[in-house]
């Protein structure tokens, strides 16, 4: 049986990649296509974005789109995702969240909703990036003394949050492996006379420009050597395919909050 998929934000960059991925997946069919209220795309066939009409009209009526759905995939903005989250709880529809930039209240709302529906919530759905998270945990435990740690990320000019959710997750993985709390040791910017680098800090550097899909590097530097673990994405399709894997995982999952480490069996 094919999974009935609903995609949020279908006119965005990730939304279009998700439409293409679902259209190419033999075990899935597009069931609903959501966009924001006031969008000029409302009422149009979602297939226009994949080159072939499919009869699914773009709508802002979330509850209607979720009727009969097996999963919703959402890579939009926090305020929109939280609205979709409430609708998924009402409809008992599993949810894949790739949206970043949530505050503490938003994350708490997701955790509460996961007690009623299964949710995969991950800052990056790429299989390669989630392997990097695993590698970072190992690296941090081995390079736990005398190494300065910096995380550098680069994205396209349209990205609105910084550092990226992936960069923050990299920092969290490293901090946890070292027994630290990222809130206490993160440094997000340097300017002027900052003094010498504090050895327990984890630094972040952000680049925005052009059409960079997503580059992330964790740097472990000490006297005489440095170790770099890097992931570079050249297409959003890698994130879309990871999101489809997450949706398949949710088809048999119990209620709860999961991430891509669970989906990929990396725990």
For the chain, how are helix, strand and coil distributed in percent, rounded to 5?
Answer: 35, 25, 40
Is 155 part of the annotated catalytic residue set?
yes
Of residues 16, 155, 216, 231, which has the active-site annotation? 155
Is 159 part of the annotated catalytic residue set?
yes
Pairing of strands 118-121, 214-222: unpaired
DSSP 20-81: HHHHH-TTEEEEEEE--TT-TTTTSBGGGGTTS--S-BEES-HHHHHTT-SEEEE-S-HHHH
| Residue 255: strand, helix, or coil | coil
Query: What gap in Å lies between CA 255 and CA 247, rounded to an integer?
Result: 13
What is the token pair recorded at 195?
């003094």
> Cα angle at 183 between 14 and 215, to 5 degrees?
35
What is the token pair recorded at 137?
């945990």
Q: Residues with catalytic annotation?
A: 155, 159
């Amino acid at each position: 049986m094919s999974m009935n998929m609903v995609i949020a934000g279908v006119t965005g960059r990730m939304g279009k990649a998700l439409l293409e991925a679902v259209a190419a997946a033999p075990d899935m069919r597009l069931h609903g296509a959501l966009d924001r209220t006031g969008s000029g795309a409302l009422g149009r066939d979602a297939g226009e974005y994949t080159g072939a009409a499919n009869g699914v009209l773009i709508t802002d009526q979330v509850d209607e789109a979720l009727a009969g759905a097996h999963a919703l995939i959402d890579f939009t903005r926090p305020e929109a995702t939280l609205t979709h989250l409430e609708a998924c709880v009402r409809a008992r529809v599993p949810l894949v969240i790739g949206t970043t930039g949530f505050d503490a209240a938003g994350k708490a709302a997701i955790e509460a909703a996961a007690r009623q529906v299964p949710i995969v919530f991950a800052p990056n759905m790429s299989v390669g990036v989630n392997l990097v998270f695993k590698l970072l945990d190992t690296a941090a435990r081995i390079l736990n003394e005398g190494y300065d740690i910096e995380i550098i990320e680069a994205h396209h000019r349209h990205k609105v949050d910084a550092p990226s959710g992936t960069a923050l997750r990299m920092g969290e993985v490293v901090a946890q492996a070292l027994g630290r709390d990222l809130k206490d040791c993160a440094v997000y910017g340097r300017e002027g006379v900052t003094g010498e680098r504090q050895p327990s800090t984890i630094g972040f550097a952000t680049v925005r420009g052009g059409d960079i899909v997503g580059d992330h590097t964790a740097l472990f530097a000490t006297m005489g050597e440095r170790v770099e673990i890097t992931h570079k994405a050249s297409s959003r399709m890698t994130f879309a395919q990871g999101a489809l894997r997450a949706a398949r995982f949710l088809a048999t999952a119990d209620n709860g909050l999961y991430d891509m480490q669970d989906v990929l069996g990396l725990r």
